[in-house]
A and B are shown apart, each in its own frame.
Chain A
Amino acid sequence: MTRRFSATPYLFLAPALVLIAVFVLYPIGAVVYYSFTSWDIVRPPVFVGLDNYQQLLGDETFWKALSHSIIYLLVTPTIIAMSIVLAIIVNRKLRGIHIFRALYFVPAVSGSIAIGIAWRFLFDRNGIINSILITLGVIHDPIQWLSDPGLVLPIAMLLTIWAGVGYYSVIFVAGLQNIPEELYDAAVIDGCSDFQKHWHVSLPGLRPQIAFVAVISSLAALKVFDEIYVLTNRTGGILDSATTIVFYLWKQAFVNEHAGYAAAIAMVLLVLTLLFSIVNVRLLERGQERV
């Protein structure tokens, strides 16, 4: 029996495929090509072979930025842990709990630039944090938080965690509500404490959500840019103390006008995110199989 060719499914797919080809595949191809060129954006690119990749190997700032991006991944386990705790807290039938859920979600619907600016005010030399610390007598002179090379990256990570916890906790709340109540009842009959109930029932039940959040939050952490851009006033921090890989990519392309070199950095980022995603997808599959 021969199957007749039908064009209908391809016609339905065509608009999406055309969009992907134009806005995803072509730019990717262009980035791959530009990574082998010397290009200052305003003049035509010049093919330089592997020069950009060779330069990357000896570029101290690149390695520093890469290490900062990897450190930034610490945000992922922190954000997962905090989001689960928050989800468990707000997953109770208490009066007005919806208001709390909405409040926790506010950072997720606020622009990252707006949040960054608000945090700049918080950590400003004359900001509210210094004012409180001075009022409490903890410090005498204001701390220059955002100009201390050791503090900028942690503050940016804190910002990312604060902004993401509400969003990810909504995912975990949805996961918690899918766990059958009978499992908790059985755990109580078995003599579990509140903590043990969540350890033995909630956490295994949330495995698919944990894997999903791990994928998207680690990708977001690797690509962090807005927070660094705003908190450091476009500098990447004193002595590149908060320069991440995407920030460095941006700076090379649009400040130093080395778009070809920036494309090579983008390729490294691509490999890195691909590796992370493969690991995370494997985890996701394993989680789904167990559930």
Chain B
Amino acid sequence: MRMKRSLALGFTALFIFSACGSSATAVPSVATQAPTTAPSTAPASSASAAPAASVAPTPLAPDPAEAVIPNVEPNAEIHFWTFYLSPTFDDYIKETIARFEATYPGVKVDWEDHQATFQDDLKAAFAAGKAPDVINLSVSEGWVSDYASKGLLLPLDDKVPAAVQSTYFPGLWKEQEVGGKNFQFPWYQGINVDLINKQLFAKAGIDPASFPKTIDGVPALCQALKDKANTVCDIRLTVSDLLSQMVYEGNVKPLSADGKTFTFNSQDAVNWLQMYVNMVKAGTVDNDILTTTDDRVGLLLFSSGQAPFYATGLNLIRDVKANNSQLYNNLAVAPTPLGLSGVVGKGLMGISVKASTPFPNASMALAQFFTNARSMVEFSKIVSIYPSVIASYDDPFFSASATAIEDSARSTAKDVVSHYADIVPSLPTGVNQADVNDIVLKAVEDALFNGIDPQKALNDAVTKANALIK
């Protein structure tokens, strides 16, 4: 009996061990959903719905003038990862790689596209010492600064010729700087807009043309929509990077001038938070959407015709079109209200080079090639994305009148993109952005849903955040 009991306990212990093991190993597979805002702004599969996508441009001929990076290593074989671009953009990517290989003879490119598991795959690849040489990273999600701050990306300022650097919009080249250095070639950009349900606005007697130009006009709009159309606003906080939202919307200075202490409990920060607290108290926003990490949840609600407006990328109008053609025909678009900082926002995607690549010049050449004017204009013709290179906008494509609403920003895109800039200062060395964001998120949620005074919530959060600085 004792033997039997020991065996039973032994097997139970083994079962638990394996259960715990399975938890730990199964989790990544569950957790492999893509960071939620990135796919929303990535042109993933948009070509399938976008009218322009059906017109496949003729492949460009190689042009020796595109070889602008010197001393490319002969016979380099470089690995390139993209995020959510296959299979929709396979032809474009393969043709661009073929043109690159013809422009830099001897260099071979091995391309892989990773999607929902991109971040997990990349982290595992870095851990195993097998990370790709050239990596498509999201700027808006903070991936560039995340990997750069860990010393995993190549600083570019002193390696890329000044003439090449100056081809990009200055704000885009300088965004996501870590320690004053740039680690990415700016790639495709999105235009953030608010999609408007004209039917709900008509029900409330509000003209879509009167959509607020600045963030401080949003609470009054939401109140009017609730009072007159009995609907609430579909607004999402950037819960993965609240400091950033504070900076752009509230003109908050999150760090002291010397960058050594957190200061996001200033009057500007309190005012910013109070605006959302007031909306929650007034019941004019959907609380579930307000704090979701998943951009698609808000977009889905808007697509179902139940929300009056939603801030997203123009390229995602394809989702509305695919899911609700009636709403698509009743759609208006307005520029996203400007925050108190006066800066529209930061860029979307970049291409970075691994710090430890044996082929830094070939890798920089590929990253630069994909982001040069010719390549980006071709990309823009396939899907509603916008180039980071100034000269791209000289192409007649951007002055041609657009008929589809998803292309409505084409003529104004240059102005919008040229004003993109990262105005969020780097965190003190050794401080993990996710840890700070957790602290800020708790403070925001305490103020929004727990009745805590915004000033007190932010004071407590600043104390906790400062404790992270070593």
Contacts and interface: CB of A to CB of B under 8 A. Distances in A.
Interface of A: 20, 23-25, 27-28, 31, 40-43, 113, 124-126, 141, 144, 146-147, 149, 219, 223, 225-226, 229, 233-235, 238-240, 246, 249-250, 253-258, 262, 266, 269-270, 273-274, 277-278, 281, 284-285
B150 A42 contact: yes
Contacts of A270: 16-17, 20
B120 A225 contact: no
Contacts of B449: 147, 149, 238-239
A254 B28 contact: yes
Contacts, number: 134
Interface string B132-161: 000000000000000100101000000000
A238 B442 CA distance: 8
A7 to B, nearest CB: 23
Contacts of B31: 229, 250, 254
B8 A285 contact: yes
13 contacts: A40-B150, A42-B150, A43-B127, A113-B30, A147-B287, A233-B297, A235-B293, A253-B24, A257-B434, A273-B20, A277-B16, A278-B12, A285-B8
Q: Is the interface of A mostly helix, strand, loop or mixed?
A: helix
Contacts of B232: 125
Interface of B: 5, 8-9, 12-21, 23-25, 27-28, 30-31, 33, 36, 120, 123-124, 126-127, 147, 150, 152, 232, 239, 283, 286-288, 290-294, 297, 301, 304, 306, 432, 434-435, 438, 442, 445-446, 448-450
A41 B123 CA distance: 7
Contacts of A238: 287, 291, 445, 448-449
B293 A269 contact: no
A281 B8 contact: yes
B292 A235 contact: yes
Given A27-B24, A229-B30, A284-B8, 16 more contacts: A24-B17, A27-B21, A41-B127, A42-B123, A43-B127, A141-B283, A144-B288, A149-B450, A219-B16, A225-B23, A239-B446, A249-B24, A266-B20, A266-B24, A269-B20, A270-B16
A278 B6 CA distance: 11
B120 A256 contact: no
Main secondary structure of the interface of B (DSSP, over half): helix
Contacts of B297: 233
Contacts of A27: 21, 24-25
Nearest to B24: A266
B17 A28 contact: yes
A238 B152 CA distance: 34
Contacts of A28: 17, 20-21
Given A147-B290, A235-B239, A235-B291, A23 B438 contact: no
A233 B292 CA distance: 6
Contact of A223 (B17, B23, B287, B293): B23
Given A41-B123, A42-B126, A238-B291, A24 B21 contact: yes
B239 A31 contact: no
A253 B27 contact: yes
B233 to A, nearest CB: 12
Contacts of A41: 123-124, 126-127
A192 B142 CA distance: 70
Nearest to B16: A273
A130 B398 CA distance: 47
Contacts of A262: 24
Contacts of A234: 33, 36, 293-294
A24 B150 CA distance: 31
A246 B31 CA distance: 12
A235 B287 CA distance: 13
Contacts of B123: 41-42, 257
Contacts of A23: 21
Nearest to A145: B288
A285 B8 CA distance: 9
Contacts of B24: 27, 31, 249, 253, 262, 266
Nearest to A223: B23
Given A126-B306, A239-B445, A266 B438 contact: no
B20 to A, nearest CB: 5
A127 B72 CA distance: 58
B27 A254 contact: yes
B23 A249 contact: yes
Contacts of B147: 42
A43 B297 CA distance: 34
B404 to A, nearest CB: 29
Contact of A144 (B124, B286, B438): B286
Contacts of B21: 23-24, 27-28, 31
Nearest to B26: A225
Contacts of A258: 432
Nearest to B301: A126
Contact of A31 (B20, B33, B127, B294): B20
Contacts of B5: 285
